Structure 1
Amino acid sequence: MSELSLPAPAKLNRMLHVTGRRADGYHELQTLFQFLDHGDTLDLRRREDGRITLTPGLPGVEHDANLIVRAAGLLQESSGCRLGADIALTKRLPMGGGLGGGSSDAATALLGLARLWELPVSLDALASLGLRLGADVPVFIRGRAAWAEGIGERLTPVELDTPWFVVIHPGIEVATPAVFGASQLTRETPPISMARALQEGPHAWRNDCQSTVRRLYPAVGEALDWLSGFAPSLLTGTGACVFCRLTHSDEADSILARVGDGWHAFKARGRNISPLHQALGLH
């Protein structure tokens, strides 16, 4: 095998509670991750000389700082592999959108290159490498919808409903540090059990970051208010993307037909098994 084309799917935080702040500045979270059948694509081609190339680059991101390149370098270093790869990225997910695009790209690079380079490496080992790149990377490595705690790295697989979603990006980028550093952010939501969260269900789920993001980024509030006119809507992660849950695909089409200029919107189906795992035959 010398070439692979693989998806890097989006994720939604179906709910998100902030339950505390650690001494190192990170926040303790409880969240439900679910994948979407929409995202970026990585085309990987093996090189024999050990070089890692990435095209195109991302605006404002140095080549060596890109999570895809960092993931490839970590895998080379940890495995002693002397192979390289040419990586072509088709970017569909917005940066700073709360859809996990960069983390998903990194996870696809780790899993895809491990396959391309024929490395005998476990999902546990890849998830540990991924955690060094970001707290959201392990859920993409493990490829199951999950209840997550800690900073988002302690994962328990779950089965969630798999509705249609409309996702709107209001054309801005949210700075996650600004949200978690805001004085008004709720940081003391009492922890709940996974069983209780699942029992309460989608109609009770909320995102503790939402009110803060509304105040800091009025464009997100405008998107939430507009989308809520069709169905109950939530922020994913720290945004900027917002989403609503729908029963039928044609409902999503009807909403998309009304989206105005300046917003990027798409419909997608929820998935409890990552499209990446399905493509690699890991489900």
Structure 2
Amino acid sequence: MNTVVDSGGWSVWPAPAKLNLFLRITGRREDGYHALQTVFRMLDWGDTIRLRPRADGQIRRVGDSIPGLAEADDLVVRAARLLQSSLKFAQGADIIVEKMIPSGAGLGGGSSDAATVLRALDRLWGLDLGEDRLAALGLTLGADVPVFVRGHNAWAEGVGESLVPIDLPPAWYLLADPGVHVNTAGLFQAPELTRNAAPATMADFVSGASLGNAFEPVLRRRESAVEAVFAVLAEVGTPRLTGTGSGCFVEFATRESAEEAQARVASRVQSRVVAGAMRSPLLDALEAGIRD
């Protein structure tokens, strides 16, 4: 479907969520950051970004998508201003974020929103910077932004920015949100965090080896709500943690099996069933173009 510009001048763009199908820490880099390995899985569900170009150069966030988050600190505003300032570009934009992805759940909401702003404003402003340059700009905003800029399921290393596209089979996911907002910086400083896991290979992942999430045991011990959700989800499959957040998920081969599992746990956990995407819906929107 084409991206539509309505009578008010707004265009609408998807900002999909992601899952980390595993997450290992294999050491520390010379720059002090942790060396990671993960697989990013795009989801066919997420936030929605509305954009309207401005001729006066102002970047404005319309509405309050995350209560308490100052406009200057919002990643969507920072992304737009970064793109604008890096090119000394005269146009501006109004931005509306329609939030569906819970904050602090490890589903990539803020990073995806920022990536969508970069890619969509690149199109709306007629910049045509290209994926590589936009991904490089995105990396200055956060380690997860480049994967959303590129929009492909990927094997990732480094701090998450070294990406190799990977084909993943169709899958459906039962997502559960314990309602815990995780402080990522604090989690990385946890003394019990395993920081020296043996590096995995793509062959390990493809074979179905259990590669785990380094943050799962830490968060389950620290947050009773996360542990409680794991206990319920274990009745319908093998629960996993995504990223450094509190979001939990179970993978299923079919929508029907995922929905049956959801029905079994519906009275005890907040959940939703979403499809894994072959690639980001944002790429589809960009390729379809814009029409009035």
Q: Settle same-fold status: TM greater than 0.5.
A: yes
Structure-2 separation of matches of 1:42 and 1:268: 19
Q: TM-score, normalised by structure 1?
A: 0.94
Aligned pairs for 1:133-148 (under 5 A) are 133-148=141-156
* 1:35 Cα deviation after fit: 0.4
Residue of structure 1 equivalent to 2:16: 9
Residue of structure 2 equivalent to 1:70: 78
Residue of structure 1 equivalent to 2:283: 277
3-state SS of 1:16 partner: strand
Aligned pairs for 1:127-138 (under 5 A) are 127-138=135-146
The runs of 4+ residues in structure 1 deviating greater than 3 Å are 22-25
For residue 212 of structure 1, the aligned residue among 190, 209, 218 is 218
Matched, 1:21 2:28: yes
Residue of structure 1 equivalent to 2:254: 248
Residue of structure 1 equivalent to 2:91: 83
Structure-1 separation of matches of 2:121 and 2:112: 14
Q: Is the CA contact 2:170–2:253 (under 8 Å) kept in the aligned structure 1?
A: no
Residue of structure 2 equivalent to 1:166: 174
Structure-2 separation of matches of 1:98 and 1:31: 13
Structure-1 separation of matches of 2:114 and 2:280: 14
Residue of structure 1 equivalent to 2:195: 187
The gaps in structure 2 that reach 5 residues or longer are: none
Structure-2 separation of matches of 1:281 and 1:56: 28
- Across the aligned residues of Structure 1 and Structure 2, the Cα RMSD in angstroms comes to 1.6
3-state SS of 1:266 partner: strand
Q: Is the CA contact 2:24–2:211 (under 8 Å) kept in the aligned structure 1?
A: no
Q: Is the CA contact 1:3–1:116 (under 8 Å) kept in the aligned structure 2?
A: no
Q: TM-score, normalised by structure 2?
A: 0.91
Structure-2 separation of matches of 1:163 and 1:101: 20
For residue 117 of structure 2, the aligned residue among 109, 114, 136 is 109
Structure-2 separation of matches of 1:269 and 1:36: 6
- Identity, % of aligned positions: 45
3-state SS of 1:281 partner: helix
Matched, 1:223 2:223: no
Aligned residue identity for 2:151: G
* 1:171 Cα deviation after fit: 1.1
Aligned residue identity for 2:58: R
Residue of structure 1 equivalent to 2:240: 234
Residue of structure 2 equivalent to 1:44: 51
Q: Is the CA contact 1:4–1:112 (under 8 Å) kept in the aligned structure 2?
A: no
Give a deviation string over 1:233-277, Cα, whole Å, max 9, x none: 10000121000001221222233333236x532111111311111
Give a deviation string over 1:75-107, Cα, whole Å, max 9, x none: 001122211111111100010000000000000
Structure-2 separation of matches of 1:26 and 1:95: 23
Structure-1 separation of matches of 2:239 and 2:62: 35
The gaps in structure 1 that reach 5 residues or longer are: none
Structure-1 separation of matches of 2:225 and 2:244: 13
